Structure 1
Amino acid sequence: MAIAPIKFAFTSTVYTILFTNPSFSLFNCPTQESQALLSFKTALNVSDGNLSSWVNGSDTCSKWDGISCDNLTNHVERVNLTAYTNHEGQGVQSGVISATLCKLPFLKYLNLRSIGLTGNIPSLFDVSKNALTGYVPSLWPPYLQLLMVNDNALVGTIPPSLCNLDHLVKLDLANNKLNGNIPPCFSNYKAIQVLNLGGNSLEGSRPHGLCCSSLIVRYNKLSGAFPPSITDCKRLQVLDIGHNRFAGEIPWSVGNLSALQVFMMKSNHFRGRIPSEIVQLKKLQILDLSSNNISGFIPRNISSLQAMVIPRGDGHMLSTLLNPFHIFVREKGLNTYFKLGPFDTYVIRVPSHVELDMTVKGLERHYSYILSTTTYIDLSSNQLKGEFPVEFGKLKGLRFLNLSMNNLSGVIPHSLGEMSQLESLDLSSNRRFYGSIPTEIQSLTSLECLDLSNNNLSGNIPQGGQMITFDNTSYSGNPYLEGCPLPKKCSWPQFSPPLRSPNEIQDRNEGFRKKIS
Structure 2
Amino acid sequence: MTLKVNDNWIPPFQLATLGLRHCHLGSRFPSWLYSQKHLNYLDLSYSGIIGTIPNIFWSSASQIYVLDLSFNQIHGQIPNLTNAAQLEVLSLGSNSFSIALPLISSYLIELDFSNNSISGSIFHFICYRANELNKWQILYLSGNFLQGELPDCWMNYQNLMILDLSNNKFTGNLPISLGSLISLQSLHLRKNNLCGTIHSLENCTALMTLDVGENELVENIPTWIRERFSRIVVLILRSNKFYNLLPKELCDLAFLQIVDLADNNLSGEVPRCIHNLRAMVTMNSHAGKAIQYQFLLYASRAPLIATLLEDAFVVMKGREAKYERTLNLVRIIDFSKNNFSGKIPLEVTNLKVLQSVNLSNNFFTGRIPESVGTMRSLESIDFSLNQLSGEIPQSMSSLKFLNHLNLSNNNLTGKIPSSTQLQSFDASSFSGNDLCRAPLSGNCSEHVSIPKD
Query: Which interval holds the TM-score relative to the shorter structure?
Result: 0.7 to 0.9
Q: Which residue of 2 aligns with 1:337?
A: 294
Which residue, out of 204, 214, 222, partners 2:172?
A: 204
**1:275-317 deviation digits (Å, cap 9, x = unpaired):** 100011100110000000000111101010011101479x9xx
Gaps of 5+ in 2: 22-36, 82-89, 446-453
Q: Which residue of 2 aligns with 1:439?
A: 394
1:440 and 1:423 mapped to 2: Cα distance? 15
Alignment of 1:38-117 (within 5 A): 47-48=4-5, 61-62=15-16, 77-82=40-45, 86=47, 93-99=49-55, 100-101=57-58, 107-117=64-74
Q: Which residue of 2 aligns with 1:282?
A: 254
Which residue, out of 199, 206, 222, partners 1:228?
A: 199
**C-alpha distance 364-51 of structure 1, shift in aligned 2 (>3 A):** farther
Task: Report deviation, 1:147.
Answer: 0.6
Which residue, out of 221, 225, 231, partners 1:259?
A: 231
Q: 8 Å contact 1:250–1:274 — kept in the other structure?
A: yes
The alignment status of 1:120 with 2:88, answered yes or no, reads no
Pairs aligned (count): 407
Q: Which residue of 2 aligns with 1:497?
A: none
**C-alpha distance 197-159 of structure 1, shift in aligned 2 (>3 A):** same
Alignment of 1:21-420 (within 5 A): 47-48=4-5, 61-62=15-16, 77-82=40-45, 86=47, 93-99=49-55, 100-101=57-58, 107-124=64-81, 125-137=90-102, 139-163=103-127, 164=129, 166-208=134-176, 209-211=179-181, 212-225=184-197, 227-256=198-227, 257-311=229-283, 332-341=289-298, 342-351=301-310, 353-358=311-316, 360=317, 363-369=318-324, 370-420=326-376
Amino acid across the alignment from 1:203? T
**1:208-232 deviation digits (Å, cap 9, x = unpaired):** 214310000000000002x224233
**C-alpha distance 393-207 of structure 1, shift in aligned 2 (>3 A):** same
Gaps of 5+ in 1: 1-44, 68-73, 87-91, 316-330, 492-517
**C-alpha distance 167-471 of structure 1, shift in aligned 2 (>3 A):** same
Percent of matched pairs sharing the same residue: 33
**1:149-204 deviation digits (Å, cap 9, x = unpaired):** 10010110113343557111110000000101111112431111110000000011
2:162 and 2:58 mapped to 1: Cα distance? 24
**C-alpha distance 222-285 of structure 1, shift in aligned 2 (>3 A):** same
In our comparison, the structure showing a higher alpha carbon Rg is 1
Q: 8 Å contact 2:18–2:42 — kept in the other structure?
A: no
* TM-score normalised by structure 2 residue count: 0.83
The alignment status of 1:487 with 2:441, answered yes or no, reads yes
Q: Which residue of 1 aligns with 2:28?
A: none
Q: 8 Å contact 1:271–1:294 — kept in the other structure?
A: yes
1:134 and 1:304 mapped to 2: Cα distance? 49
SS at match of 2:328: coil
* TM-score normalised by structure 1 residue count: 0.73
1:312 and 1:474 mapped to 2: Cα distance? 33
Amino acid across the alignment from 1:450? L
Amino acid across the alignment from 1:160? H
1:296 and 1:133 mapped to 2: Cα distance? 47
- Superposed CA RMSD: 2.8
SS at match of 2:329: coil
